[in-house]
A and B are shown apart, each in its own frame.
Chain A
Amino acid sequence: MTLTSSNRAVDAPAGRRAPLAPRRTIRLLAEKIGGAAVVLFGAATAAFLAQAALPGDRATVILNIRAGQAIERTPAELAQINQQYGLENPLVVQYLDYIRGLLVGDLGISYQQFKPVTEVILQQIGPTVALTAAALVLSWLIMIVWVVLTAGRTGRLSGVGAVVDTTAAGLPHYWLGIILLLVFSLGLGWFPVISGPSFIGIVLPALTLAIPLAGFMGQATRTEFERSLEQPFVISARMRGMGDTGVRLRHVLRHSVLPAITLSGWALGATISGAVVVETVFSRPGIGKVLVGAVNSQDMPVVTGIVILIAALYVVANLLVDVAYTLVDPRLKRS
């Protein structure tokens, strides 16, 4: 069930992989990709419905959102908006237009900012991507160090390790962010209070996202780690004279990170949505901040655009994990 055994299988004589029927693998992959496509299509439909569900006459709503006040509009004003957003068409036509737009990367026009949503997102996505990537890397580092140090130890250490995992996993991002900000920026002055684009500024926001995630992945990894510690291969490695740290790092760890890898699709989604909160705590630019602003002003094209983009990332990440898994672990193909 491990990365190691299958990596070796690649080096091994071709005979071991041959009976795995490539046609079946391809069919399985096609099924998974098809499933993901259906989910994405459904998500797009849900996004369209969300836009259409905005209460009241849409052209009036759009004008009011732009002006920031609710007043009666003249038919001439409304006609212009109706034309710009294609609102005079029946809902079915609007829907087809929306889906067609999505396929070519057109997410519509912001109600408030008068420019395409794609442009709004592209301008702001950089810092969010950097933050998410940094958070994922950090969470793996923290999780591995903590689990290797504490899992399967005698006495209190093991119990403390598990309690810290559970507690960390339950910390709300806004609170953890505030604590880190107070201690390390305002108290110790190690990091800037307003996280700018600099490298140093990303540390605290990334830690805020990484700590709960590390706790969450740690729970899964710890169980597997402690199970692997009791496997015969550990005893045989010890008999060969390998030290405890060596066994943990070289053998046990490899066997126990698999559940956490399965979670990585989910982790990406959790991190990006956590970024929404963290960007607000640290006054960081990014699509999370744009999203909160857009929700506040009911700028639906921006809201649905960002939500769709993140849902798409989430679905694709899960698909990749799933596919990688099928390719790596031959046993899954038979189930």
Chain B
Amino acid sequence: MTTSVTPATGTKSAETPTPRPPRRTPPPTGLIVAAGTLLLFVTAMIAPGLLATHDPYALNLADALHAPSFDYWFGTDEAGRDLYSRVVYGTRESLVIGLGATALSLTLALALGSVAALGGRFVAGTVNRVIEVLLAFPTLLFALLLVAITGPSALSQVFAVGVGSAPGYARIIRGQILSARNSGYVEAAVALGHGNGRILRQHIVPNAVRPLVAIITLSVGQSIVWASSLSFLGLGVAPPSPEWGALLDAGRVYITQAWWLTVIPGLVIVALALAATTLGKHIQNSLEKGEK
């Protein structure tokens, strides 16, 4: 599904001046599956009632730890709650945490990265050093350090994952702005006598921002994985909530009796992360191919 990733990087920025061929290849199956999966998750986020089959909070001790069946698609937990409906209702919280973290990290990364690329010598140098220092902490550890300060909660999950993954993105954005700034078209614009503001607006911003679409898609999946890792460690949203990481954390106690309580929520997270990655890589490829 993503086999064409690497060759594309070698042939970016059209080496051949021929016009683009008019042929339209149908989108690859992987992409369709990924888009369908994401659509399903978005539906579950906006209108969980459409997909759920039971009340996600209704206790039914008679049916506790029921294996997946026709009645309970994903089985039930120790209190007889329907796991499938809980996963559906947990989508909103999981996605909001993931999207919030992505928004926070990209905002920070955009600020840090553009100052590091375009600031004056001293400012850029300092910000660059700060990014480098923060990169010395692996993302999950940085997030744990932040959770230690704020204490575990959904909000601190957003904060920790958002801030924790910002330095990596800041470096990517800095690189993108720098390569746009050092490119031939900016040189040409300078030669034409265009002002700094105009060059920034017309050339650097569009060229540095376009690849962000791919980064955003990729990082939503990654953020959800990081955030669910935190709840899995008991350092995020606490178990009664159907947030996916919390479901895993709660199910871990019953691993010997009820495999579905951990395997299925995990599978859902993997499916979402893979779908986001596939879509992100596809966007990345088509951007590279489409570069003029």
> A residues near B, CB below 8 A?
35, 38-40, 42-43, 45-47, 50, 53-55, 158-159, 162-163, 166-167, 170-175, 178-179, 181-182, 186, 193, 223, 269-270, 272-274, 276-277, 280-281, 291-292, 294-296, 298, 300, 303-304, 307, 310-311, 314-315
Contacts and interface: CB of A to CB of B under 8 A. Distances in A.
A174 B233 CA distance: 9
B248 interface: yes
B129 A42 contact: yes
A182 B136 contact: no
Interface in B133-152: 133-134, 136-142, 144-149, 151-152
B149 A170 contact: no
Contacts of B229: 172-174, 277
A314 B142 CA distance: 13
B233 A276 contact: yes
Nearest to A220: B6
Given A166-B2, A173-B229, A178-B266, A314 B133 contact: no
A170 B234 contact: no
A172 B228 contact: yes
B145 A50 contact: yes
Interface in B100-156: 129-130, 132-134, 136-142, 144-149, 151-152
A91 B140 CA distance: 28
Contacts of B266: 172, 174-175, 178-179
Given A272-B138, A304-B145, A310-B138, A170 B129 contact: no
A39 B136 contact: yes
Given A170-B274, A175-B266, A296-B235, A314 B138 contact: yes
Contact of B273 (A162, A170, A269): A170
Given A50-B149, A174-B248, A38 B262 contact: no
Contact of B259 (A166, A182, A273, A295): A182
B12 to A, nearest CB: 15
Q: Binding site of A, secondary structure by majority: helix, strand, loop or mixed?
A: helix
A298 B147 CA distance: 9
Closest 7 CB pairs of A and B: A42-B133, A175-B266, A273-B138, A269-B138, A273-B140, A295-B148, A311-B136
Interface of B: 1-3, 6, 129-130, 132-134, 136-142, 144-149, 151-152, 221, 225, 228-229, 232-235, 248, 252, 255-256, 259, 262-263, 266-267, 269-270, 273-274, 277
B137 A43 contact: yes
25 contacts: A35-B132, A38-B129, A43-B136, A50-B148, A158-B3, A162-B3, A172-B229, A172-B269, A174-B229, A175-B266, A186-B259, A273-B141, A276-B144, A291-B141, A294-B148, A295-B144, A298-B148, A298-B149, A298-B151, A307-B137, A310-B138, A310-B141, A311-B138, A311-B141, A314-B136
A38 B140 CA distance: 22
A296 B133 contact: no
A39 B132 contact: yes
B273 A172 contact: yes
Contacts of B6: 223
B149 A273 contact: no
A179 B140 CA distance: 21
Given A43-B137, A162-B3, A314-B138, A178 B255 contact: yes
A170 B136 contact: no
B152 A296 contact: yes
A272 B140 CA distance: 10
Nearest to B224: A172
Given A50-B148, A178-B266, A277 B2 contact: no
Given A50-B149, A307-B141, A314-B136, A175 B233 contact: no
A303 B269 CA distance: 28
Nearest to B30: A163
Contacts of A310: 137-138, 141
B229 to A, nearest CB: 6
Contacts of B133: 38-39, 42-43, 45-46
Contacts of A35: 132
A277 B233 contact: yes
A310 B136 CA distance: 9
A173 B151 CA distance: 23
A246 B6 CA distance: 26
B144 A303 contact: yes
Contacts of B139: 273
B226 to A, nearest CB: 9
B154 to A, nearest CB: 16
Of B145, B225, B269, which is in contact with the most chain A CB atoms at under 10 Å from its CB? B145
A175 B232 CA distance: 10
A171 B270 contact: yes
Given A300-B149, A303-B148, 7 more contacts: A39-B129, A170-B270, A182-B262, A292-B233, A304-B145, A307-B144, A310-B141
A195 to B, nearest CB: 14
Contacts of A47: 145
Contact of A174 (B3, B152, B232): B232
Nearest to B130: A42
A46 B141 contact: no
B267 A307 contact: no
A107 to B, nearest CB: 14
A93 B269 CA distance: 47
Given A292-B235, A304-B145, A170 B277 contact: yes
